[in-house]
A and B are shown apart, each in its own frame.
With several copies, the nearest count.
Chain A
Amino acid sequence: MKNKRIANIILILFLILGLAFPVFAEDAAVATVNHASTSGIDTLWVLIAAFMVFLMQAGFGMLEAGLIRTKNTCNVLMNNFLDFCMASTAFFIFGYAIMFGKGNGFMGLSGWGLVNVTHEGSIPLEAAWLFHAVFCGAAATIVAGGIAERMKFKAYLMYSFLVSATVYPIVGHWVWGGGWLAKLGFSDFAGSTVVHAVGGTAALVGTIMVGPRIGKFNKDGTANAIEGHSMALASLGTLILWFCWFGFNPGSTLSVGDGSFMSKVAVNTNLAAAVGALTAVFFAWYLFGKPDLTMSMNGALAGLVAITAPCAYVVPYEAMIIGFVSGIIVVLGTIFLDRIHVDDPVGAVPVHCMNGIWGTIAVGLFGREGLGGLAGNGLMHGGGFKLLGVQMLGTFTAVIFVVVAMTIIFKMIDMIVGLRVSRDEELKGLDLSQHGMEAYSGFQVFINR
């Protein structure tokens, strides 16, 4: 009997050793073997996703450059490039503390410069920071498209620092940092509101405050088309963005688990984008008589933005419905902006603001309790208006907050350095007037428009 007990113990020890040995070599602790391994995979996944979201800078850069005129290409590229640098720095010093620091329901107030931050969760602080920093950069860069071709470079630099240091992290705190919206049960899986509605609304405020480009609207109220200079760049940018969205949405699972969760998110993301693109192109074809490449691209982006909040909470056919609606929204939104004389050269508002709102609300319509950890059912699944109400409250509060905050910020910048270049500088092009350089030296370009 004793022997058996001894055998027992040996068996157990053998088991412990057998399992632990290779782990000891690595992590020097038995109890953490699986934990370590899980944490490793999860970090790997989050980092790769972060790298992909970083690449969105290239996507946005090419898309925005492609949709504006040659004479402002350097400017938009530079805005796009430096806003990420600004966002990296600002989010390092201020943003992360405001977004995830201990504070109140409105904002965090500790962890400036990432000093003395204790981080919970399976991934290390640094990975979490990088993942959120690239999201912040994405939100910031959305504005570059809306205010393109007429905002002063200095003004844009100041904007990009301020938005990344304050506006974005505050809304982020509400939703992802344990703020008041999180406590209400507001659910925005990967950021339809936090990233896109925030960025898109900032773009809306910016484009209204800086005013339409010279020549965009006629005296009789009709709009002119100011064609983008390279559909190849725009198309490349869109495809890069779609690719990066596979980091944006599935990456927001923040863990790999058995892989099924992130797979579902990836499939929803892809289907919403595909249906969004097809809807937009057919709808625009029906309205304008020709299939428009820019509309199909914006339709895909609209689908991607819209599925960003609900991607974890819905099933594929619902993702397709969400994508379908987003394709309609983006076309009508573009027409609507032209009607009300808001000049948004690349469609930042219909894509990011309008569809960011739509996607957030879609959670309240199609969300399924339990799926992706959602707390309640949406309207379509018998959850009544509760979740829907919270979602609408959340996204509209965020939009209103951004309108107020960005109005103040842009007013301030206007007073200090001025928002808009002079008429002459705008006609000459921002590349020459702001940067003293040309984007396409050697090519013969028309600069008469």
Chain B
Amino acid sequence: MKLIIAYIQPHKLNDVKQSLYAAEIHKMSVTNALGCGQQKGYKETYRGVVLEVNLLKKVRLEIAVNDDFVQPTVDAIIKGARTGDIGDGKIFILDLAECIRIRTGEKGKTAIG
């Protein structure tokens, strides 16, 4: 099992969700994040002072999947999130040692989906 973490542009969340659904991946967790990557920040001005903002708003996805679902998941994320512009985001994949469904106590493969 793997834990897939993806950082995407916030306004791409809906597209990513759609393409994940299309790939039959229905379970995920989403958090807000601020990201600092290749994308340059932008400037705000506030009462005459310029403010460099280099932590940009991003959305963080966490998806636990069985090994054979890793590729489809990654593909679906890329499909939904890619625009070709800097700031599109990144995907990180970690090994997942165990997964437990709280409600039933099921473990591993059966618990994940």
Q: Is there contact, CB below 8 Å, between B49 and A223?
A: yes
Q: A224-B51, A432-B42, A447-B57 are in contact. List 8 more A-B contacts (CB 8 A).
A: A225-B47, A225-B49, A288-B50, A294-B47, A338-B48, A427-B11, A437-B46, A446-B32
Residues of A contacting B13 with CB < 8 Å? 448
- Contact partners of A436 in chain B: CB under 8 A: 42-45
Contact A444 B48 (CB under 8 A): no
The number of inter-chain residue pairs (CB within 8 angstroms) is 66
Taken together as a complex, chains A and B put the C-alpha atoms of A334 and B45 apart, in Å, by: 13
Q: Does B10 contact A (CB under 8 A)?
A: yes
With beta carbons under 8 angstroms apart, the residue of B32, B44, B59 that contacts A437 is B44
- Cβ of B45 and Cβ of A331 under 8 Å apart? no
Check if A287 sits within 8 Å of B48, measured CB to CB. yes
Say yes or no for A266: interface residue by CB 8 A criterion: no
What 1/0 mask marks residues of chain B from 56 to 81 whose CB sits below 8 Å from any chain A CB? 01010000000000000000000000
Interface residue A289 (Cβ < 8 Å from any Cβ of B): yes
Asked if B14 CB lies within 8 Å of chain A CBs, one says yes
Q: Mark B6-20, 1 if CB is under 8 A from A, else 0.
A: 000011111000000
Interface pairs (18), CB distance under 8 Å: A224-B49, A225-B44, A225-B46, A225-B47, A288-B48, A290-B45, A292-B46, A292-B47, A294-B47, A298-B47, A334-B47, A428-B11, A432-B42, A437-B45, A446-B32, A448-B10, A448-B13, A449-B11
Which label, helix, strand, loop or mixed, suits the secondary structure of the B interface? strand
**What are the interface flags for A217-253 relative to B under an 8 Å C-beta threshold, 1 for contact and 0 otherwise?**
0000001111110000000000000000000000000
Q: Find chain B residues with CB under 8 A from A223 CB.
A: 49
Any B CB within 8 A of the CB of A363: no
CA distance A347 to B11 in the complex (A): 25
Give 1 or 0 for each of A281-301: 1 = CB within 8 Å of chain B CB: 000100111101011001000
CB proximity of A4 to chain B, nearest CB, Å:
77
A409 to B42, CA, bound (A): 34
Chain A residues proximal to chain B, CB less than 8 Å: 215, 223-228, 284, 287-290, 292, 294-295, 298, 331, 334-335, 338, 347, 427-428, 432, 436-438, 444-449
Q: How far is the CB of B86 from chain A (nearest CB, A)?
A: 13
- Roughly how many angstroms separate A215 CA and B51 CA in the complex, as a whole number? 13
Q: Are B11 and A288 in contact, with the CB atoms below 8 A?
A: no
Contact between A438 and B48 (Cβ–Cβ < 8 Å)? no
Q: Is the beta-carbon distance between A225 and B10 smaller than 8 angstroms?
A: no
Question: Which residue on chain B has the smallest CB distance to residue A289?
Answer: B45
Chain A min CB distance to B88 (Å): 14
Q: How far is the CA of A37 from the CA of B58 in the complex (A)?
A: 66
Q: Smallest CB-CB separation from B85: which chain A residue? A: A424
Residue of A nearest to B43 (CB): A436
Whether B14 lies near A288 (C-beta < 8 A) is no
Contact (Cβ within 8 A) B45 A292? yes
Instruction: Report A-chain residues with C-beta under 8 Å of the C-beta of B50.
Output: 225, 288
- Check A227/B57 contact, CB under 8 A, given A446-B32, A448-B14: no
Complex CA–CA separation, A355 to B70 (angstroms): 56
| Binary contact track B25-42/A, C-beta < 8 Å → 1, others 0 | 000000010000000001
Please indicate which of the listed interface residues B42, B45, B57, B59 has the most CB atoms of chain A within 10 Å of its own CB.
B45
Docked complex Cα distance between A288 and B51 (Å): 11
Question: Shortest distance in angstroms between A243's beta carbon and chain B's nearest beta carbon?
Answer: 23
From B12, B44, B47, B49, contact of A432 by CB (8 A): B44
Q: How far is the CA of A335 from the CA of B14 in the complex (A)?
A: 25
Complex: how many Å from CA A225 to CA B11? Answer: 16
**Chain B contacts of A227 at CB under 8 A?**
44, 46, 51
- Smallest CB–CB gap between B7 and chain A, Å? 13
Give which listed residue, B11, B43, B51, contacts A447 with CB less than 8 A.
B11
Contacts of A449 in B (CB 8 A): 11, 14
